[in-house]
Structure 1
Amino acid sequence: MLAEGGRRVRVWTREPAERTTSAVAGALWWPYRIEPEPLVGAWALESLGVYEELAARPEETGVRLVEGVHLGARLGELGSWAARVPGLRDADAGEGVWAQLPLIDMRAHLAWLRMRLLKAGGTVTERTVTDLAEVPAAVVVNCTGLGARSLVPDPAVRPVRGQLVVVENPGITTWLTSVDDASDGAGGAEGTDTSTYFFPQPGVLILGGTAQEDAWSLEPDPSIAAGIVARCASVRPEIAGARVLEHRVGLRPARDAVRVERQPLPNGRVLVHNYGHGGAGVTVAWGCARQAAGLAHPAA
C-alpha cells in the first residue's frame, strides 16, 4: 500500500515469504484468535472487500470464494461485523453458520503480493534486523509478527502453535470448521486446544488443527497429525484414505490486542507497529495495512 501510494519502500525480511508463518496458513477469512473485537470487525470487513475483488482472478491472486460451514457457530453469537458479511446464514437444524468466504492459497498469494510490490517500485532484501531504531529510514514499519517479542521487545507477543496435514483431495469442494476451545489435550499434546477443519486448496486438502499456547516447536508431532486426520475423517470418511503429502507447523503471533501504533523516534523519525494478529492475520491484513500506512508519515 505504501509503495502504490508513491512511497519508496524497502522490505527487509529475515526469511523469504515461503518460509514464514503466512505460507503455512490454511487462510480462510474469519476472525479467529484475535482481539480487540470492535477494531477487528472493521479491519476484517475492509479486508473482505479487497478479497472479494481479488477472487475475480483466482489463478493470479490465489484468492477464491468458497462455500462452507462453521459447525457450532451461531449468527446471534457473532460480533456486529457478521451482519455485514454477504450470505452469512444459520445452517438448517441449527448445526452451524454457512457462508461463502475468501479461501486463500497463501503460497500463490504471497508470490502475487511480492510481484505487486516490485511492480510498484518496492524492493525485498533478506536481512536480519536487531534494532528497529537503527534502521536508516525516515519511517520504519514493524510487521515482524512473533519476531516483535524480541525485537521491540514486547513480551506480550507469544506463540500459539498450529499443526496441519496436507493430503490429496478425495473430491471435497467445501470447507468446514469445528472449534473446541475447551479441549483437554486430545490429539497428543497436553494443553492443546484442538479443532477440526478442512480447506480445499488447489490440488490438495488442508486438514487441521491445533492451538498450543506458548509452544515453540516447529517439528510436526506424529500423534497430533494422526489425531487431526482422525477428527477430519469422522466428518468426511473419505479423508481417512487420502494420501498424506506434507506436514506443516506454524506459530501464530498472539497478543492480547493487535498493536497498530505510531511511535516517534529521535530526529523526527517515525516507527509504526503492526503486529500481534494471532490466528487472523489474513483476515485483517488489508484493514490493518491501511491504518498502518496512514500512520507512516514523517513527523512535522
Structure 2
Amino acid sequence: MAAPKVAVVGAGVVGLSTALCLVETCPSCSVTVLADQFSPNTTSDVAAGMLIPHTYPGTPIHVQKQWFKETFTYLFGISNSAEASEAGIHLISGWQIFKNAPKEELPFWSDVVLGFRSMSEAELQKFPQHRFGQAFTTLKCDCPPYLLWLEKRLKAAGAQMCTRKVAELWDLHSEYSVVVNCAGIGARQLAGDERLFPVRGQVLKVHAPWVKNFIRDGDGLTYIYPGVHRVTLGGTREEGSWNLSPHPGTTKAIFDRCCTLEPSLRGAQDIEVKVGLRPSRRCVRLQREVLSQGGVKLPVVHNYGHGSGGFSMHRGTAKEAARLVGECIAALQGSLSRAKL
C-alpha cells in the first residue's frame, strides 16, 4: 500500500496538535493540514491559553483528567526547554477566588497543576468581596506564537499546509485515505452536528506588564491572565451568538469588572478587543466514522467540540485522535491484504 495520505481539516490548536501527533506516531503517513484560515486568524488566536480545565458534563471525569494531564505534561516539557520563549509557554502562579466556598473544594485537576492549596486569610485580603480561594501554579500559552511553533514543527516533519475551504468532508475522498475533522465551530456544517453551538467570547488584550499573577473569579466570567507581552482580560459566554463584532458596552463592562479585582489595571495601555466563537457541546466529539457513497468508503476521525477547554485538553485529545487514525489505517491495510488473497 502506498503511504497513507491523511488530511487534517482545521488549523487551530486542536488541528495543528492532531497533525503533529500524527507525524510523530505515523511517520509513514503523508499529512496535510487544510484550512481556510491559519494563524493569526483562527479562534485559537483569540483564546487566553490558560491551562485551567472547563468540565464537559458528557465526558467521564477520568477521561478529562487524562487529557488534561497529557496536555500539562507536554507543555511543561516545552516550558522547561530552550524553546519555551519561541513557543510562548510559561509557568504562571495566581488565584481562583469565590464569594462562597464551592461544593467541590478539590477540582479533578488539582493534583495535575503545581502546588494547589487553599488561600490563606492574608492572601484573601487582596479580594475583600471574596471569602474563599485556591492558589496554584499552571501553564499559560501565548496563542499566536504557540500556533506558529506548531506549524514550524509540522513543516520540519514534512507535513503540508494548504489554504483551502472544505465544503464537505466527502469532497476529500478521492485525494486522501483518512480525513480528520478538527474544524471547530465549522464542524457544525461539515459534520451536520446540531449539538455543536457557538459560545461567543469577547476579551481585551492590554499592556500592563506589572500584573504578574493570574486572577480568576470562580463564580463568574471575570479573569485576568498575564502573558509574555499582553494581559488578557475577560470575558463573556454568550451561547448561540455568531456575532464576531466587538461590543463597546461589553468592553467597558469587562474592563470595569477586572479593575474591581485588580485596581492597578486602571493604568493599562493600548487596549485591543478580540472576539472568538468557542465550539461548544456537552462533550468533545472524539470518534471514528465511515462515510460511504456508491460502495466507496472514507474513514473520518472527529476531534472537535472543545468549547472553552481547547488549550487545556488539546494535546490529550490530539493523541487520542492520532490513535484512532492509526486504527483506520490498520483497517485499510487489512482490507487491502484480504483483497489480494
What is the TM-score when the length of structure 2 is the normalising length? 0.80
Aligned to 2:75: 51
Determine if contact 1:167/1:243 at 8 Å carries over to the other structure.
yes
Q: Does 2:311 align with 1:274?
A: no
Shift of residue 76, structure 1, vs aligned partner: 4.2
Matched AA of 1:237: P
Alpha-carbon spacing, 1:240–1:37, altered in 2? closer, same or farther (3 Å): farther
Shift of residue 265, structure 1, vs aligned partner: 3.2
1:137-195, Cα deviation, whole Å (9 max, x unpaired): 111000001001111110111011111111111501111110445xxxxxxxxxxxxx1
Matched AA of 2:154: L
Aligned to 2:38: 16
Alignment match of 1:198 (pick from 220, 224, 238): 224
Determine if contact 2:185/2:305 at 8 Å carries over to the other structure.
yes
Aligned to 1:186: none
Aligned to 1:172: 211
Q: The residue matched to 1:19 in structure 2 has which SS?
A: coil
Alpha-carbon spacing, 1:213–1:134, altered in 2? closer, same or farther (3 Å): same
- 2 CA distance for matches of 1:255 and 1:76? 23
Determine if contact 1:75/1:97 at 8 Å carries over to the other structure.
no
Identity %: 34
1:212-257, Cα deviation, whole Å (9 max, x unpaired): 1111111110000001110111111111121233100011100011
Aligned to 1:285: 314
Unaligned runs of 5+ in 2: 1-20, 122-130, 335-341
Aligned to 1:42: 66
- 1 CA distance for matches of 2:180 and 2:271? 37
Query: Mean Cα displacement is larger for which, 215-224 or 76-85?
Result: 76-85
Determine if contact 1:172/1:200 at 8 Å carries over to the other structure.
yes
Unaligned runs of 5+ in 1: 182-194
Aligned to 1:3: 23
Shift of residue 4, structure 1, vs aligned partner: 2.3
Aligned to 2:128: none
Determine if contact 2:113/2:137 at 8 Å carries over to the other structure.
no
- 1 CA distance for matches of 2:239 and 2:167? 26
Aligned-residue CA RMSD (Å): 1.7
Shift of residue 50, structure 1, vs aligned partner: 0.4
Q: Report the count of equivalent residues.
A: 287
- 1 CA distance for matches of 2:263 and 2:282? 38
List aligned pairs for 1:249-260, cutoff 5 A. 249-260=275-286
Determine if contact 1:34/1:254 at 8 Å carries over to the other structure.
no
Shift of residue 34, structure 1, vs aligned partner: 3.4
- Runs of 4+ residues over 6 Å off in structure 1: none
- 2 CA distance for matches of 1:78 and 1:145? 30
1:40-79, Cα deviation, whole Å (9 max, x unpaired): 2210111110011011232121110110111127594444
Alignment match of 1:124 (pick from 161, 168, 173): 161
Larger radius of gyration: 2
Aligned to 2:181: 142
